[in-house]
Chains A and B, each alone.
Chain A
Amino acid sequence: MSNIIEFTKEMKKDYTILVPDMAPVHFKIIMPVFIQEGYHVELLDNQGSGVVNSGLKYVHNDTCYPALLVIGQMIDALNSGRYDIHKVALLITQTGGGCRASNYIHLLRKALVKAGYGFIPVISLNMSGLEKNSGFKLTIGMLRKAIAGMVYGDLIMHLANQCRPYEITKGTTDELVDKLGAKCASYLNANKGYSIHQMKDICKMIVQEFAKLPIEKTIKPKVGIVGEIYVKYAPLGNNNLEKFLQTQDVEYMVPGLMGFALFKVDNRLEDIKLYGGNIGKKVVCQILFDYLQKMEGVMAEAVQKYSSFVPIGRYAHTKELVKDIVGYGFKMGEGWLLTAEIMELCDQGYENVVCTQPFGCLPNHINGKGMIRKITTVMPKANIVAIDYDPSATKVNQENRIKLMLSIAREKLK
């Protein structure tokens, strides 16, 4: 592809790399991994109508909402005057696979050209070797640290969500989230905290900190959030869904990033199982898969050992749940995982599920809306609402539908 501007070694010295913030808790912890390697990274936090309008202006309006938002956010940031646009690079993930998401980076480049920023290099963060840049390399060390950061993020999120609705002093949970997040970040920044041994200690510390938090348990509806990965986590993508739920007197759980990471690696193994393939590739994937599972174990065991919190749903268990519902070969987007996460949530008592998706999301026709009926036949208690997100879908209508789901949830509690 001739139109690619490479991110060179020279650029690494003084370019600022802008990164869209998909999962606020996680990304704050993971950022030091890049800073430590000498990259000047900055998480984008600009919001508001400028973001959506830039997206609408430079991206095909039928493209999925996350692409529109992420690209809109980047262009809005470039337009803001906050950056020297000749010393800026953009970073975007590229998962690979048959979903439109693999094309985000190309849509971003097209949009940049249209907006007059065609000279800005775009870095693809991917693990499939789709694109390479001489100035940006994902080393094994970085990968391990990033995985550690992801584990901490998942763990903090998992516990915080169980404390926040019941905290005695308002705001203490989020204070703890910030404090622990900063702590984890500082470990990684000091090149520590990613060996199995250290991680066990840190996870233990995190669990114990949350266990100490003064809470008063009452009976509240339990809500789960699943969805397309960006819309599920990013407040920008889901109209501050979590903030809304916090005002509705419910407890909610959001499955972590670890499941998605395992799913993406596992897909390659499934692919080989279904269609045959290279043995070497299989070995590499298996190693990575085992490593991730071990990491998952570290955090899951910490929760079980040191607290009475609802345990973390393990990938293997989640996968088992969906066995008779949908095939493991369904790998595009969130694939079978989304369906499985709904079931895992129900299994853990979070039977009231908000299934978030960008309007017209292709895989979601199948794993989300397409599976609701089937799920409710095997799990009759499941109370699922599918919500579309889109540049002009209004908060009123989204919240009204969620409220309906919550009314039923409340009645079931009686």
Chain B
Amino acid sequence: MKLGLDVGSTTIKCILLDEDDNIIYSSYERHLSKIVEKTIELLTYIKENYIQDHKCKLMISGSAGMGMAQCNDIDFAQEVFATKIACERLNPDTDVVIELGGEDAKILFISNHLEVRMNGSCAGGTGAFIDQMATLLNCDAATLDKLADNAKRSYTIASRCGVFAKTDIQPLLNQGALKEDIALSIFYAIVNQTIAGLAQGRPIKGNVLYLGGPLTFLKNLRKCFDKTLNLEGKCPENSLYYVALGAAFSATNSYNLDELIAKLQNYSNHTTFAYIEPLFKNEQEYQEFKERHDKAKIEHADPKSYKGKAYLGIDSGSTTLKCVVIDEQGKILIEDYRTNKGNPVELIKDFLINLYTQYPNIEIVGSGCTGYGEDIVKHAFKVDEGLVETIAHLTSAKAFKKDVDFIIDIGGQDMKCFKIHNGTIDNIFLNEACSSGCGSFLQTFATNLGYDIETFAKKGLFAKMPVDLGSRCTVFMNSSVKQAQKDGASIDNISAGLSISIVKNAIYKVIRCSSVEELGKNVVVQGGTFYNDAVLRAFEQELKTNVIRPNIAGLMGAYGAALYVKNKKYQKSSILTLPELLNFEHKVSSVNCGLCENHCQLTVNTFSGNRKYISGNRCERPITKKTKGNDLNIYESKRQLIKTYHTDSGYRNITIGMPLGLNMYELLPFWNAFFASLGFKVITTDFSNRATYLKGQNSIPSDTVCFPAKLMHGHVEELIEKGADVIFYPCMSYNVTNKHADNNYNCPVVAYYPEVLKANMDSLKKVVYINDYVGIHKPMAFVHKMTNILKKYFDDIHHRDVFKASRKAYQAYQEHMDKIYAMGDKIVSEARKENAPIIVLAGRPYHIDPEISHGIDQMIASFGCAIVSEDYVAHCNSKAYRVKVLNQWTYHSRLYDACEYVVDQKDMNLVQLVSFGCGCDAITSDECRSLLEEKGKIYTQIKIDEISNLGSIKIRIRSLLEALKQEKETDSHE
């Protein structure tokens, strides 16, 4: 008999074969990370029921089985390889296998030269990802599949990483998008991720086999694959067991199961993981800790006996809804905390009706709302004040500590930290992808390990050896936990380890501080996650300081909103009355906005009385029907300017195409003039949109490269469609020089991405592709070198013509830059006339692309700010300075210049745009921050990637503007 075990990241699969390879027994179950125990259980069962002499051939496979097999000298087959063996045996005519597992995604190309691909470090698009998304919709994976049956449309959801996807889905939910549509969108996201991340340009065609849990159980996921790949794949019999089957087929060595079980029992007892200090040494330490924290308390008052004015605060968060009603002394009358189940509107309606009927003597005279759902809640119920979360939290923190220096809020999905200076918010830190560990993260782990969150957290308090788990993203954390369990760590040590890792994530990745002095003396911690004593303790331990945790840590947003309206001395609230609520109606529909090239997907909420709330928009146009006020937005002006560079005819009758992306966003005028002078017709691509990305996504070889680079693939495809004969996209180690910089490099990606396109895009064979190494930083040498390059491709190229063309090119470039400088001057002087705040939106030239910056510029403009860019401001800076890093990249050096200039301008503030995966910005962002903060300026960073959600960015910008407003008010008082 032959036994194959597939110990995956979440499940254990088992196949027992007889001598003729018939399946005698098979099983599939979740192992809840108790890998060794489950294996022993399984082996014992099989031994007793199927194998008389207790001897059989055995092979283990699966990522979680590797360590166990290795340490106990059991034969091991790598799981993808096992799949291949099973396929060859059972479905010999298979061309491609797509297998999704718990944490792995794999594609095997079997026919015509075997190739196998596994997902790299980023693990979107796997079973774990689906579970995460289902949790978000408050259902399980099977229900998700059912929901998708009735979907009518799909939204774009980033799937590279669960965090990105969440940031896409959350606002959709909050804006009232249908769960059915979201379910389908999730499946499409997985398909795109698998194709873009794994196929990497190799076409998936022929006989396709779908294997693994998600593809077996979710028929709509299979349908999405079929539709996208334009074929009909097969999900064969035993599709869950291919790895186990492959292992069983290739088992050759015989084992005595009794001996093996004994060995495994012994193995599960030894401990080898890295651990850190325990949270509490003893019970007494814990008691002292508890007593200290019990003092931070807001009193409650009895709502039944209360008669009179009261204030309502609503915090509609990403996963939970919090409501608080306070009396005129600020005491809490009513508090309410529930998961929002994806629809805050219904819940608030219930809450309000209940409030009115149960406590008729409480008179709500003011109401405020905050959180992700602020807009929809405000519109739906006519709430008096909508306030940005940071202000709500600051208001309530002040109730506990008047001179609070630092607030850290860790909620279910996000982490918000802000530094307070002179009573106003001075700096904001929000978590990003790769720094995602939050409350729901603990929750997910607890559930996966079979516990509820309270029990799970308690277990960690007195763990003797908390596991050292590091601090990166959730997916990495899964594998760290897996490893720790393999090494024998118990649940309590894992629980403590996870709590500590959340804290480390907050301190070192989100706030980026290395000592408590940077935070200040009075730190208030809040958010539901801090109810967890393990997290709280870990925090104090890591920073070696005591902090304040209010007894209403989870309600601080709502409490702050209530306090805020109380402080504003509201006398009458506009909030819906009981009769209005009883007739309350809420309808959702979605449309595509056609008012500009962004084509935003709008969600239209209609409330009773035909009141409308539109969301999903990037500008005010679909709401006010007015043309956007873009005259003070240099990003818009630059976009219009760059569109003017093309040459519609030339005597050579050859069309040269250049992709509008990366450095071309600044050098297009240069090359356009250059080639025009040489008699070429010059075309370029349009701005990027989602379709651009999709067009090129299957030839992207590295899924962690920055988004602007990924878009280049689509631009090249577009040039070919447009009929370019030649595509010119030179490699450039060097860029133009900057007087204050030490060197003038491009970043490696900008410099050499043309090589990646050449190596990975088959369609380039249809055209002449010129990607030679060119340096425009040395004008004299340029003419000579360029002549030689062009001679390789074209006849009739003469040094004198190239010389002439190059003069025109340099001139055109200078004129282009001068135009930008002039635009900047005009915007700044007009803004100053109108007394509008000026935001320096600092990134790279290519950040003006609407798909890269996701309309952030328009959003900021809609708040009444004037916008200028880093190139303009850098040009304004005449001051020499030194930075603490090597200032060697042309585009990045402009950021330092911009900071230097901004610190001297009272009405200017800098917001840095950082593309996810931009390694250079790991260096520049720290330096920019310190340049600005040394001179008392607020530094704001916005990280952007594929995601198109503006929610968290809005919080940042609004908080910044709020802080500026308060700063101004304090100034005028002095």
Query: B933: shortest Cβ distance to chain A, in Å?
Result: 14
With A275-B775, A408-B81 as known contacts, state yes or no: A115 contacts B514, CB within 8 Å.
yes
Interface string of B726-754 (1 = CB under 8 A from A): 00000101100000000101111101110
With A98-B889, A369-B702, A404-B118 as known contacts, state yes or no: A397 contacts B773, CB within 8 Å.
no
Interface string of B66-93 (1 = CB under 8 A from A): 1100000000111111000000000000
B889 nearest in chain A by CB position? A98
Give every chain A residue within 8 A of B778 (Cβ-Cβ): 275-276
Give every chain B residue within 8 A of A64 (Cβ-Cβ): 919
Most buried by B among A102, A109, A366: A366
Asked if B760 and A374 make an inter-chain contact with CB atoms under 8 angstroms apart, the answer reads yes
With A61-B508, A100-B920, A392-B477 as known contacts, state yes or no: A332 contacts B884, CB within 8 Å.
no
Give every chain B residue within 8 A of A392 (Cβ-Cβ): 469-473, 476-477, 480
Query: B887: shortest Cβ distance to chain A, in Å?
Result: 9
Asked if A362 and B919 make an inter-chain contact with CB atoms under 8 angstroms apart, the answer reads yes
Asked if A102 and B78 make an inter-chain contact with CB atoms under 8 angstroms apart, the answer reads no
Asked if A373 and B755 make an inter-chain contact with CB atoms under 8 angstroms apart, the answer reads no
Interface string of A269-305 (1 = CB under 8 A from B): 0010011110000000000000000000000000000
From B369-377, B421-429, B553-561, B922-930, give the one contacting chain A: B922-930
Residues in A143-195 with C-beta less than 8 Å from chain B:
none
Asked if B81 and A404 make an inter-chain contact with CB atoms under 8 angstroms apart, the answer reads yes
Give bound CA distance, A3 to B883, whole Å.
Answer: 9
With A63-B919, A106-B885 as known contacts, state yes or no: A275 contacts B781, CB within 8 Å.
yes
- Does B882 belong to the interface (CB within 8 Å)? yes
Contact residue range for chain A? 35 or more
Asked if A56 and B504 make an inter-chain contact with CB atoms under 8 angstroms apart, the answer reads yes
Residues in B162-198 with C-beta less than 8 Å from chain A:
none
Residues in A72-126 with C-beta less than 8 Å from chain B:
97-100, 102-103, 105-107, 109-110, 114-115
Asked if B201 and A363 make an inter-chain contact with CB atoms under 8 angstroms apart, the answer reads no
- Does A372 belong to the interface (CB within 8 Å)? yes
With A103-B885, A275-B785, A371-B759 as known contacts, state yes or no: A98 contacts B748, CB within 8 Å.
yes
Asked if A332 and B751 make an inter-chain contact with CB atoms under 8 angstroms apart, the answer reads yes
Give every chain B residue within 8 A of A370 (Cβ-Cβ): 701-702, 755-756, 759-760
Asked if A57 and B508 make an inter-chain contact with CB atoms under 8 angstroms apart, the answer reads yes
- Does B486 belong to the interface (CB within 8 Å)? yes
- Does A413 belong to the interface (CB within 8 Å)? no
Give bound CA distance, A332 to B745, whole Å.
Answer: 10
Give every chain B residue within 8 A of A397 (Cβ-Cβ): 63, 121, 479
With A3-B884, A366-B753 as known contacts, state yes or no: A110 contacts B926, CB within 8 Å.
yes
Interface string of A383-395 (1 = CB under 8 A from B): 0001010111111
- Does B116 belong to the interface (CB within 8 Å)? yes
With A98-B746, A103-B886, A374-B759 as known contacts, state yes or no: A380 contacts B514, CB within 8 Å.
no
Asked if A366 and B886 make an inter-chain contact with CB atoms under 8 angstroms apart, the answer reads no
Residues in A284-342 with C-beta less than 8 Å from chain B:
325-333
The interface on chain B, measured as residues whose beta carbon lies within 8 A of the other chain's beta carbons, has a size of 89
Asked if A110 and B884 make an inter-chain contact with CB atoms under 8 angstroms apart, the answer reads yes
- Does A219 belong to the interface (CB within 8 Å)? no
Question: Of B63, B471, B785, B884, which one neighbours A109 at CB under 8 angstroms?
Answer: B884
Asked if B925 and A60 make an inter-chain contact with CB atoms under 8 angstroms apart, the answer reads yes
With A52-B470, A109-B884 as known contacts, state yes or no: A365 contacts B704, CB within 8 Å.
yes
Asked if B121 and A390 make an inter-chain contact with CB atoms under 8 angstroms apart, the answer reads yes
Question: Of A374, A393, A396, which one neighbours B121 at CB under 8 angstroms?
Answer: A393
Asked if B781 and A276 make an inter-chain contact with CB atoms under 8 angstroms apart, the answer reads yes
Most buried by A among B115, B116, B701, B731: B701
A366 nearest in chain B by CB position? B752
Asked if A331 and B733 make an inter-chain contact with CB atoms under 8 angstroms apart, the answer reads yes
Give bound CA distance, A105 to B731, whole Å.
Answer: 28
Asked if B479 and A276 make an inter-chain contact with CB atoms under 8 angstroms apart, the answer reads no
Give bound CA distance, A400 to B78, whole Å.
Answer: 7
- Does A360 belong to the interface (CB within 8 Å)? yes
- Does A17 belong to the interface (CB within 8 Å)? no
Give every chain A residue within 8 A of B801 (Cβ-Cβ): none
Asked if B923 and A107 make an inter-chain contact with CB atoms under 8 angstroms apart, the answer reads yes
Give every chain A residue within 8 A of B79 (Cβ-Cβ): 400
Asked if B508 and A103 make an inter-chain contact with CB atoms under 8 angstroms apart, the answer reads no
Asked if B701 and A407 make an inter-chain contact with CB atoms under 8 angstroms apart, the answer reads no
B62 nearest in chain A by CB position? A400
Give bound CA distance, A365 to B754, whole Å.
Answer: 12
Give bound CA distance, A243 to B76, whole Å.
Answer: 19
Question: Of A49, A114, A330, A404, which one neighbours B731 at CB under 8 angstroms?
Answer: A330
- Does B274 belong to the interface (CB within 8 Å)? yes
Query: A382: shortest Cβ distance to chain B, in Å?
Result: 11
With A329-B773, A400-B63 as known contacts, state yes or no: A60 contacts B884, CB within 8 Å.
no
Interface string of A335-362 (1 = CB under 8 A from B): 0000000000000000000000001111
- Does B880 belong to the interface (CB within 8 Å)? no
- Does A399 belong to the interface (CB within 8 Å)? yes
Question: Of A99, A359, A373, A408, which one neighbours B116 at CB under 8 angstroms?
Answer: A408
Give bound CA distance, A328 to B889, whole Å.
Answer: 20
Interface string of B449-478 (1 = CB under 8 A from A): 000000000000000000011111100110
- Does A12 belong to the interface (CB within 8 Å)? no
Give every chain B residue within 8 A of A106 (Cβ-Cβ): 884-886, 923
Question: Of B118, B200, B477, B746, which one neighbours A373 at CB under 8 angstroms?
Answer: B200
B472 nearest in chain A by CB position? A392
With A2-B882, A392-B476 as known contacts, state yes or no: A332 contacts B121, CB within 8 Å.
no
With A63-B923, A98-B751, A361-B919 as known contacts, state yes or no: A332 contacts B733, CB within 8 Å.
yes
Asked if A60 and B118 make an inter-chain contact with CB atoms under 8 angstroms apart, the answer reads no
A399 nearest in chain B by CB position? B66
- Does B888 belong to the interface (CB within 8 Å)? yes
- Does B709 belong to the interface (CB within 8 Å)? yes
- Does B120 belong to the interface (CB within 8 Å)? yes
- Does B512 belong to the interface (CB within 8 Å)? yes
A56 nearest in chain B by CB position? B508
Give every chain A residue within 8 A of B784 (Cβ-Cβ): 276
Asked if B201 and A62 make an inter-chain contact with CB atoms under 8 angstroms apart, the answer reads no
- Does A401 belong to the interface (CB within 8 Å)? yes
Asked if A404 and B785 make an inter-chain contact with CB atoms under 8 angstroms apart, the answer reads no
Give every chain A residue within 8 A of B274 (Cβ-Cβ): 48-49
Query: B883: shortest Cβ distance to chain A, in Å?
Result: 8
Asked if A332 and B748 make an inter-chain contact with CB atoms under 8 angstroms apart, the answer reads yes
Give bound CA distance, A408 to B85, whole Å.
Answer: 11
Asked if A394 and B482 make an inter-chain contact with CB atoms under 8 angstroms apart, the answer reads yes
- Does A58 belong to the interface (CB within 8 Å)? yes
With A106-B885, A403-B78, A407-B81 as known contacts, state yes or no: A362 contacts B748, CB within 8 Å.
yes
Asked if A373 and B701 make an inter-chain contact with CB atoms under 8 angstroms apart, the answer reads yes
- Does B917 belong to the interface (CB within 8 Å)? yes
A1 nearest in chain B by CB position? B882
Query: B199: shortest Cβ distance to chain A, in Å?
Result: 11
- Does B568 belong to the interface (CB within 8 Å)? no
Give every chain A residue within 8 A of B508 (Cβ-Cβ): 56-57, 61
Q: Please, could you name 22 A-B residue pairs with CB atoms under 8 Å apart, sorted by A?
A: A61-B435, A61-B512, A97-B745, A98-B743, A102-B886, A274-B785, A275-B773, A327-B731, A330-B733, A363-B748, A363-B752, A373-B201, A380-B113, A388-B704, A392-B469, A392-B471, A393-B476, A396-B64, A400-B118, A403-B66, A404-B81, A407-B78
Given A1-B883, A275-B775, 17 further pairs, Cβ under 8 A:
A100-B922, A106-B884, A328-B773, A329-B773, A332-B733, A360-B704, A362-B920, A365-B705, A388-B120, A388-B704, A394-B482, A396-B64, A400-B63, A404-B78, A404-B81, A407-B77, A407-B80
B binding-site residues for A, Cβ under 8 Å: 63-64, 66-67, 76-81, 113-116, 118, 120-121, 200-202, 274, 276, 434-435, 468-473, 476-477, 479-480, 482-483, 486, 504, 508-509, 512, 514-515, 701-702, 704-705, 709, 731, 733-734, 743, 745-749, 751-753, 755-756, 759-760, 771-773, 775, 777-778, 780-781, 784-785, 882-886, 888-889, 917, 919-923, 925-926
Pick the 3 closest A-B CB pairs, nearest first: A276-B781, A329-B773, A392-B470
